[in-house]
Structure 1
Amino acid sequence: MTARLLVYTRTTAYRHDSIPDAVTAVRALDGFTVDHSEDPAALEAPLDGYAAVVFLSTSGEVLTPAGRERLTGYVGAGGGFVGVHAAACTEYDWPYYGELLGARFDRHPAYQPGKAVIEDHDHSATRHLPTVWDFTDEWYDFRTNPRGRVRVLAGADESSYEGGGMGADHPLVWCREEGAGRVFYTALGHASEAYRDPGFLAHLRGGITWAARLGRDAQ
């Protein structure tokens, strides 16, 4: 039996060229049936038929008041929420969203190779990854450090790239609980190349399965 996902990619600010490739990649992940939308009405309808809602490189204000209310109720009642990359650049005018995700985007240096350090291998998003994960991305900085409010899974090693702005403690991937629901966020996933990378795809699938409480991540 497959789990149903709502993948939402609406943008009202910067739009990533990688979105079509990202949606195709999520559709290809084993175990999921994907409904993809950029229509705010998709978040106004009942969401309880979805194992998780995935905000994939959304940007700007992307929800109506009714959609905000629906998403709040869905996660609080036990739904899964996954944010990928620019999901942290979304709904700046809605305080709840920043709390839900854990942190908001501030800035990023140039797209470049760097190293992510896996802090927690006891999670489906990271258990397959090496302790030091070489990757190429934008290495997002956040307005606040979410540590202490979230379970940090991986951080950025700012000594491995140019232009980092958060210092030695730079969370990059994390998860948390919201009411009865689960939230997973990864700052990675800027370029189309990420969505052809087996390690990143396993990372993304692991985050989704955890948020949706599927398989070994159900409890």
Structure 2
Amino acid sequence: MKNKLLLIILLSLFTSGLFAKQRLLIFSKTVGWHHTSIPAGITAIIKLGQENNFDVDTTIDARKFTYANLKQYAAVIFLNTTGDVLDIAQQAEFEKYIKAGGGFVGVHSATDTEYDWPWYGNLVGAYFKSHPAQQTAVFHVVDRDFIATKHLPAEWKRFDELYNFKWISPDIHVLITIDEKTYTGGTNGDNHPMSWYHDYDGGRSFYTALGHTDESYVDPLYLKHLLGGIEYAMGNAGK
């Protein structure tokens, strides 16, 4: 009888969602430039989910942006999105999701997205301006206590497409900066952030400018960096 009662309680907890896996939605719609590394990124994030006990759905369909659909996800990741990817109604639904405590992860060209939607600009934390030729540079990890950076060396040397920004929010908590003296084509000066996080409008937002290349998505340091950002956005940073 006791075992039967315990089974009923456990089934109730599972159906109530207490023990349910968290879910992540990858959104990779592009209206401008289309990154050929998107499939590699999707594959890598699905694998991260399998290894870290969260489920991953993927879409390029903006019609999925209803609050009724989004509320099942602990976080939404804009994986190399570009251009105007959501209409006004979909924008309102996504705002509702974030305001209800949802999480956001922006990867690389997520800052090359929705230039005419100021709320989104503040959520992602910056807007893309330009980039020089892909090259190797030195990154300074300025916060090594955060879940997405605590595994990284203080100076991280890597190859990627290196973004300049035309606007950067003053409200972000910077995790990584890039040393413009170590490469050519930087335009943001000594204060050139490349990854950050912040609580925003009821939700959580993490962004990394890294992730242009296919090679990023098999790089253990980068993948752990991205995983940390996902865990923060899903509300797991303190767990």
Compute the TM-score of the two structures, normalised by the length of structure 2: 0.88
Matched, 1:217 2:238: yes
Kept in 2: contact 1:89–1:105 (CA 8 A): yes
Compute the TM-score of the two structures, normalised by the length of structure 1: 0.95
1:12-45 Cα distance to aligned partner (Å, 9 max, x none):
0000000000000000002221110000111135
1:172 matched residue in structure 2: 194
Which among 104, 111, 128 is matched to residue 88 of structure 1? 111
2:23 matched residue in structure 1: 4
Report deviation, 1:102: 1.1
Q: Which runs of 5+ in 2 are unaligned?
A: 1-19
1:99-138 Cα distance to aligned partner (Å, 9 max, x none):
1111100111111111110000111110000000111111
1:72 matched residue in structure 2: 95
1:142 matched residue in structure 2: 165
**Structure 1: distance between partners of 2:212 and 2:60:** 18
2:128 matched residue in structure 1: 105
User: 1:159 aligns to what SS in structure 2?
Assistant: helix
2:17 matched residue in structure 1: none
User: 2:167 aligns to what SS in structure 1?
Assistant: coil
Q: How does 1:4-83 map to 2 (within 5 A)?
A: 4-29=23-48, 30-44=52-66, 46=68, 47-83=70-106
Kept in 1: contact 2:67–2:97 (CA 8 A): no
Kept in 1: contact 2:23–2:74 (CA 8 A): yes
**Structure 2: distance between partners of 1:99 and 1:133:** 27
Bigger share in helix = 2
Aligned partner of 2:232: which letter?
W
Report deviation, 1:217: 2.6
Larger Rg: 2
Q: What number of residue pairs does the alignment pair up? A: 216
Q: Which runs of 5+ in 1 are unaligned?
A: none
Give the RMSD, CA atoms, in angstroms: 1.1
1:121 matched residue in structure 2: 144
1:185-219 Cα distance to aligned partner (Å, 9 max, x none):
000000100000000000000000011112x535x
2:12 matched residue in structure 1: none
**Structure 2: distance between partners of 1:210 and 1:145:** 21
**Structure 2: distance between partners of 1:133 and 1:110:** 19
Matched, 1:186 2:205: no
1:64-95 Cα distance to aligned partner (Å, 9 max, x none):
22210111011111100000000000011111
Kept in 1: contact 2:127–2:168 (CA 8 A): no
Dislocated runs of 4+, deviation >3 Å: none
Report deviation, 1:3: 1.7
Percent of pairs with identical residues: 45
**Structure 1: distance between partners of 2:95 and 2:73:** 14
Kept in 2: contact 1:145–1:170 (CA 8 A): no
Mean CA deviation greater in 43-52 or 192-201 = 43-52
2:176 matched residue in structure 1: 154
**Structure 2: distance between partners of 1:70 and 1:159:** 42
